[in-house]
Each structure stands twice: as C-alpha cells, then as structure tokens.
A and B are shown apart, each in its own frame.
Chain A
Amino acid sequence: GEDVEQSLFLSVREGDSSVINCTYTDSSSTYLYWYKQEPGAGLQLLTYIFSNMDMKQDQRLTVLLNKKDKHLSLRIADTQTGDSAIYFCAEMHPGGYQKVTFGTGTKLQVIP
C-alpha cells in the first residue's frame, strides 16, 4: 500500500536553510508535492515535481527527488519566521482518479 513518512519536527534559526525530508513507498507515483499548512489554515500548494525529474528550483525552494531510494526533500533557503508551518509531503498515484496520499507532516519552527 501507499505510505509517506516524514520526521515530525524541525527547528532552524532565521536565515539558515531548512531541509525537510520525506520517504514514500509507491514507486509508481507520478507527482510528488509539498503543501504548507499554517495554523488554522488550509493546505497551500508550495511546489511539485514530476517523477521523471531529479530537481526543481523555485525561488527559495529546492526540491530533490531520489527515485531509486524513494526519497524527496524540500530545501528552504534563507528561512524566515513566516515559513513556520507544517509541511506535508504528498504523492499522487497513476490512474484516472488521482488520489493523493499525504505524509504525517513536519512542523517547522523558525527561531528569530
């Protein structure tokens, strides 16, 4: 079955880089996503990567995909206090109906 795992908590100092890691089990995943959830808010799509890519960069965000190890990471450069949130890794499966499976979420705490 599909499973997505993340570490639960990460604490970094403002200005440092944050790296949030994720592992998944379904090798047939087509898309892998990172969503951000601020307290009491919904799920904001941050970025995504297609499974045939190794890396994607979008401003301060860098996504690395190691398909062999089924490992995904999100690097946030120059982390700001506004980046404090829960970050969810998610995978989408092939087929017609596009169910997304979410990880446990990593709570990022940015220390001023």
Chain B
Amino acid sequence: EPEVTQTPSHQVTQMGQEVILRCVPISNHLYFYWYRQILGQKVEFLVSFYNNEISEKSEIFDDQFSVERPDGSNFTLKIRSTKLEDSAMYFCASSEGSGGSKNIQYFGAGTRLSVL
C-alpha cells in the first residue's frame, strides 16, 4: 500500500541552525501538508501546498519556515534558524485531490525535531 515517507525519523540540532525535513508524498497525490505536534499537545496545521505554491498557512508558519517541492517526488520543510520551541514532531501529509474520498489526508510517521 502506498505511504508517505519522512526522513530522518529523528533530527537533533543546535539552536540557530537551519534544518530541512524531508517527505516523499504518495506518488499520485497533488496536495501536500505539514503539521506539527509539540509533546503532549494537539496536532497543529502549519501549511498546505498545491500546484507549486502555498495554499494556506497558519500563524505558526512565520518567515522562519519555508516549503519546497524541489523535484517531482520530494516535499521539504525548512526552518531557517531553529528555536527551542520548534522542538516537536513534524508530520507530512498528502491527499489525492478535491472531492469525496480524494480529500483524505495520509500521514507519514513523522520526524522528531529536538532543538538543543
């Protein structure tokens, strides 16, 4: 069964460093998302991406964050200068498209980001 894959599973970085979290969405999917879950808290929407541009972003997704689809398969989340409060589990998701069950979002296993 097709799945969303994320790498690495755990990323440790120093405060102020840049990190790139990588995702390979399901191959025929057109919509891509990033969510994050701070330990013990809700899963929060960060950004959605369609047709090579951001469709919607939350208040969390400030200028320190960016997303990119550098090629036909990868979808990345970059944090330019990490802060301690960026420590969280980051989930990538993808969906096939609009309408009916095509809206269902499938999630990857997540990347745990630890900022020291």
Contact = CB atoms under 8 A, between A and B. Distances in A.
A42 B48 contact: no
Interface residues of B, number: 24
Given A102-B44, A103-B42, 12 more contacts: A42-B91, A43-B107, A43-B110, A44-B107, A45-B106, A92-B105, A97-B31, A98-B31, A98-B48, A99-B48, A100-B45, A102-B35
A97 B110 contact: no
B55 A88 contact: no
B48 A97 contact: yes
Question: What range describes how many residues of A lie at the interface?
Answer: 20 to 34
B104 interface: yes
Contacts of B108: 42
Interface in A57-112: 88, 90, 92, 96-105
Interface string B90-116: 010101001001011111111000000
A104 B37 CA distance: 11
A98 B95 contact: yes
Interface of B: 31, 33, 35, 42-45, 48, 50, 55-56, 91, 93, 95, 98, 101, 103-110
Contact of A102 (B43, B56, B98): B43
A21 interface: no
Contacts of B110: 41-43
Contact of B104 (A31, A96, A103): A31
A42 B107 contact: yes
A13 to B, nearest CB: 26
Contact of B55 (A30, A44, A96, A105): A96
Nearest to B44: A102
